[in-house]
Amino acid sequence: MTEYHRRQADNPRGDSCNNTPHHDEMRYLLTFLTLLALTPCLRAQVIDPQNIVLEQVYIASRDAEDVPVNLLIRDNKLELVSEDEIPIPDGFAALDANGGYLIGILALGESPSFMILDGDPRIDFGVLLDADSRAVFVVHDGELLKNSLQYAKDMFEAKPEGKRWSAYTPPPVALPTSYGDTGAWNHWTTEKTRVVLFGAMAIDRQFWMSQNEASEQQVGSLDKFGGGEIRDIRIGLLGTINLFERPLGYNVAVASNAFDKRFESDGKDNYNFIDYRLDIPVPGGLTLGIGKQKEPISMERLMPLVNVPLQERSSGADALLRSRNFGALLSGSAKRRVSWAGGVFNTFIDSDLSIDQATTSLTGRVTGLPFISKDQSNLLHLGFAARLLDGNEGYQYRTEPEFNKSPVFVDTGLGDTDRILQYNLEASWRRGPFWLAAEYIGTGVDSPLGDSLYFSGYKISGSWILTGEMREYRYKSGTFGPAPVSRSVRQKGKGTWEVAARWSSVDLTDGPVDGGEMDILSFGINWWLLPSVSVNWNYRYILNNREDLDGRASGSAFRLLMLLQ
């Protein structure tokens, strides 16, 4: 797992670390009797526990996975539980639990009450009976009663992989919200395997607001493209096969644009396999991914759509970059500063052509962090990627204006080519809740007639999470995670609010090819009520230059997004 998770509890008062009611009562009683017994003799050791990070602690639940997690306590409230490393904010103490076992009550947004023991009470009950000496960390109602832990080491130091996802771009997977359960009804774990059922559904309502005469001549009237649709339905299985020191990972997913045109069901598309991949650890800390997957080019294209601040990716990425392809991808990272990936891909499965007839591509990407602050809240990301295609199937670049319910605005038409060379430049600066990003895509097309064509696209975007959360940076793949939710509406919080803006441009006109030029100014507002539910609104103003006409149009769209993680 790579995602920077912020969790909510099903019970607003918190869940215990045992899932049998009678055992819960006995565990609570024993825990708090121990805390009360410790209190008088430990008052002298009380220090300020308001802002602290606890690393590498196990949850001592009968059904919980033996995977170490990290905890973040901010302003005397439990804010985060994550399998991923947590950036240490300024002024926070980071303590190494050294594989200790936690029992007590965990509820996000509440003052914590738990203890960490130096042994596993599920195996040795004597650890609980001798809790006064075996407890290494005790906190009760936010008051620290005992601390024998050492300060954590530098967060940049490599830590064991454990049973984590090793894929270059793994799907988002949430920790269980209740540690007294196996996780959730869609999580199944055995000694040798882990299986997670995941899914997503996006429902859109499109409004076209204006269109000039030139635009209507270019693409026809936009009135018929208003209305609602189920933008996407996606469901799949992912998990690990834990037969080796480093587990094998797998991911299978199907998706459909489902029901189109005003929520009616008669326009149902067929479901398609969008991912089927096996991730194999290889010596040297590398991972070999085999199957249908994303080619390593462009941060925006690699990130799941739910991680992008606006509803759709920029027009340049959609027009010029293929989303997924079948192939083999080798990836790795170094010192949490550099990531790289490269592979060979072929379109024969989706195109129903033989391997020799289908297009083969060689794709590679490298990213780096030339600057990162000590607390990791301020960083600069740079990336470069390239792709070489043999052009067996020719070329055609086309896209809608960043609305799914829209006609195509720019289109090169189908052309012949001997070879295509693409490259991508990317830069991102994230400082706390602020994120600025830019990408440029260049595409050179060699024609058999001797003509050399060049198409391009770029985007500049910015987002600001108004409620103060910070997107996680994923060191292994050089991408950013979704906007986290620190206090959901279920916890009587505000959820996460974000505003975003983007300027994008795509140019598909060169030489004899008049595919058109399109510039788009976009604004968006996102509200994540829960980590699994969001509503958002986007507005776009579209300038389309094609066929010697200057088209102008504008529109907006509302989206309801629901995730099963």
Structure confidence at residue 122 (pLDDT): 77
CA–CA distance, 260 with 229 (Å, rounded to integer): 5
Regarding beta strands 93-105 and 52-59, do their DSSP bridges make them parallel or antiparallel, or are they unpaired? parallel
Give the residue among 395, 403, 396, 394 at the shortest CA–CA distance from 544. Answer: 403
Structure confidence at residue 17 (pLDDT): 39
CA–CA distance, 304 with 185 (Å, rounded to integer): 24
Regarding beta strands 135-140 and 113-117, do their DSSP bridges make them parallel or antiparallel, or are they unpaired? antiparallel
Alpha helices in 345-447 (DSSP H): 348-351
Structure confidence at residue 86 (pLDDT): 78
Write out 109-168 in H/E/C secondary structure. CCCCEEEEECCCCCCCCHHHHCHHHHEEEEEECCEEEEECCEECCCCCCCCCCCCCCCCC
DSSP string, 275-327: EEEEEEEETTTEEEEEEEEE-S--HHHHS-GGGSSSSS--HHHHHHS--EEEE
What DSSP character marks residue 393? T
CA–CA distance, 106 with 9 (Å, rounded to integer): 8
CA–CA distance, 331 with 293 (Å, rounded to integer): 13
Structure confidence at residue 459 (pLDDT): 98
CA–CA distance, 1 with 251 (Å, rounded to integer): 13
What DSSP character marks residue 328? E
**How many CB atoms are located within 10 Å of the residue 121 CB?**
19
Q: For residue 91, count CB atoms less than 10 angstroms from its CB and return exposed for 0-12, middle for 13-18, buried for 19 or more.
A: exposed
Question: What contacts 242, CB < 8 A, 6 or more positions away?
Answer: 163, 191, 192, 193, 194
Please tell me the number of Cα atoms within 13 Å of 110 on its side-chain side. Answer: 20
Q: Which tokens go with 301?
A: 């294209």
The answer to whether the beta carbons of residues 175 and 65 sit under 8 Å apart is no
The answer to whether the beta carbons of residues 269 and 249 sit under 8 Å apart is no
- Summarised one tens digit per residue, pLDDT across range 134-149 is 888 888 877 778 887 8
- Summarised one tens digit per residue, pLDDT across range 517-556 is 999 999 999 999 988 899 999 999 999 999 899 999 999 9
Cα separations (Å) of 159 from 287, 303, 335, 509? 17, 25, 11, 50
The answer to whether the beta carbons of residues 516 and 508 sit under 8 Å apart is yes
- The structure tokens 């010697």 sit at 548
Write out 23-81 in H/E/C secondary structure. HHHHHHHHHHHHHHHHHHHHHHHCCCCCCEEEEEEEECCCCCCCCCEEEEEECCEEEEE
pLDDT (tens, 9 = 90+) of the chain, 565 residues, equals 333 333 333 333 333 333 344 455 455 445 544 544 444 433 333 334 568 888 888 887 655 556 788 888 888 788 888 777 777 777 777 888 888 888 887 777 778 888 888 888 877 777 888 877 788 888 887 777 888 787 765 433 333 333 444 566 645 433 333 323 344 678 787 878 888 888 889 999 999 999 999 999 999 999 999 898 888 888 988 888 888 777 888 889 888 764 443 333 344 456 788 889 999 999 888 999 999 999 999 999 999 888 999 999 999 999 999 878 999 999 998 887 999 999 999 998 888 888 989 999 999 999 999 999 877 789 999 999 999 999 899 999 999 999 989 999 999 999 999 999 999 999 999 998 999 999 999 999 998 777 789 999 999 999 999 988 888 898 889 999 888 887 788 877 888 999 999 999 999 999 899 999 999 999 999 999 988 899 999 999 999 999 899 999 999 999 999 988 6
Q: Which tokens go with 182?
A: 């196996």
What DSSP character marks residue 418? S
> What are residue 106's phi and psi, to 5 degrees?
-120, 120
**Angle at CA 338, nearest 5°, toward 336 and 339?**
100
CA–CA distance, 418 with 391 (Å, rounded to integer): 5
